A and B are shown apart, each in its own frame.
Chain A
Amino acid sequence: MKTGRDVSAADDVVGNEAMVAQMRKGALEYCVMALISDDERYGFELVQKLRDFDGVVTTEGTIYPLLSRLRKDGRVETSWRESPSGPPRRYYHLTDKGRESLERFAVEWERFRDAVDAVLNERRPVNNGS
Chain B
Amino acid sequence: MATQEADDITRRYLKRLEKELGDLPAVSRNEVLDEIREHIADSRAAVQSDADMLAVLNRLGDPKSIADDARERFELKSYRAGTIEIAAIILLLFSFSIVGYIVGLVLVWRSPAWRRLDKLIGTLTPVVAVPAVWIAGAHLFLLVALIVAPVYLAVRMRNRSRAVLLFSLVPLGLVVVASVGLTVITGGGISSGNSYMVVNGQHVCWVGTSTANEKEVPCNSVPPPNGGWNDLEKHSFTTGYDYAIAANGQHRCTVDTPKGIFQQTSCSFIPAPPGGWQAVAASQQSTNCVGDEPHCLFVATASPVVPPTTYPTP
A residues in contact (CB < 8 Å) with B: 25, 42-44, 47, 58-62, 64-69, 71-72, 85-86, 89-90
B residues in contact (CB < 8 Å) with A: 17, 21, 24, 28, 31-32, 34-36, 38-39, 41-43, 45, 59-63, 65-66, 69-70, 72-74
Q: Decide: B69 and A64 in contact? CB cutoff 8 A.
A: no
Q: Decide: B70 and A44 in contact? CB cutoff 8 A.
A: no
Q: Which of A25, A72, A86, A90 contacts B35 (CB 8 A)?
A: A90
* Complex contacts, B62 vs chain A, CB 8 Å: 59
- How far, in Å, is A69 (CB) from chain B's closest CB? 4
Q: Decide: B43 and A44 in contact? CB cutoff 8 A.
A: yes
Residue of A nearest to B63 (CB): A61
Q: Which of A58, A60, A65 contacts B39 (CB 8 A)?
A: A60
* Complex contacts, B45 vs chain A, CB 8 Å: 85
Q: Which of B42, B43, B66 contacts A65 (CB 8 A)?
A: B66
- How far, in Å, is A49 (CB) from chain B's closest CB? 13
Residue of B nearest to A69 (CB): B73
Q: Decide: B43 and A61 in contact? CB cutoff 8 A.
A: no
Q: With A25-B69, A66-B73, A69-B74 in contact, do A61 and B28 touch (Cβ < 8 Å)?
A: no
Q: Which of A42, A44, A65 contacts B69 (CB 8 A)?
A: A65
How many A-B pairs have beta carbons closer than 8 Å: the answer is 71
Q: With A60-B61, A61-B61, A66-B73 in contact, do A44 and B39 touch (Cβ < 8 Å)?
A: yes
In angstroms, Cα B73 to Cα A66, docked, is 7
In angstroms, Cα B73 to Cα A8, docked, is 31
In angstroms, Cα B62 to Cα A59, docked, is 8
Extra inter-chain contacts (10) besides given A43-B38, A61-B39, A69-B73, CB under 8 Å: A25-B72, A47-B39, A59-B61, A59-B69, A61-B36, A61-B60, A64-B31, A65-B66, A68-B31, A71-B31
A-B residue pairs in contact (CB < 8 Å), sample of 8: A47-B39, A61-B65, A64-B31, A65-B69, A68-B35, A71-B31, A72-B28, A86-B41
Q: Decide: A68 and B43 in contact? CB cutoff 8 A.
A: no
* Complex contacts, A47 vs chain B, CB 8 Å: 39
In angstroms, Cα B74 to Cα A71, docked, is 12
Q: With A68-B28, A69-B73, A69-B74 in contact, do A62 and B66 touch (Cβ < 8 Å)?
A: yes
List 10 tightest A-B contacts by C-beta distance, closest first: A59-B61, A65-B70, A61-B60, A61-B66, A61-B61, A62-B69, A64-B35, A44-B42, A68-B28, A69-B73
- How far, in Å, is B34 (CB) from chain A's closest CB? 8
Q: Which of B32, B63, B65 contacts A64 (CB 8 A)?
A: B32
Residue of A25, A44, A89 most packed against chain B (CB within 10 A): A44
- How far, in Å, is A109 (CB) from chain B's closest CB? 19
Q: Decide: A62 and B70 in contact? CB cutoff 8 A.
A: yes
* Complex contacts, B35 vs chain A, CB 8 Å: 43, 64, 67-68, 90
In angstroms, Cα B41 to Cα A42, docked, is 13
Q: Decide: B69 and A43 in contact? CB cutoff 8 A.
A: no
* Complex contacts, A86 vs chain B, CB 8 Å: 41
- How far, in Å, is A32 (CB) from chain B's closest CB? 11
In angstroms, Cα B42 to Cα A89, docked, is 11
* Complex contacts, A72 vs chain B, CB 8 Å: 28, 74
Q: Decide: A89 and B38 in contact? CB cutoff 8 A.
A: yes
Q: Decide: B65 and A59 in contact? CB cutoff 8 A.
A: yes
- How far, in Å, is A51 (CB) from chain B's closest CB? 9
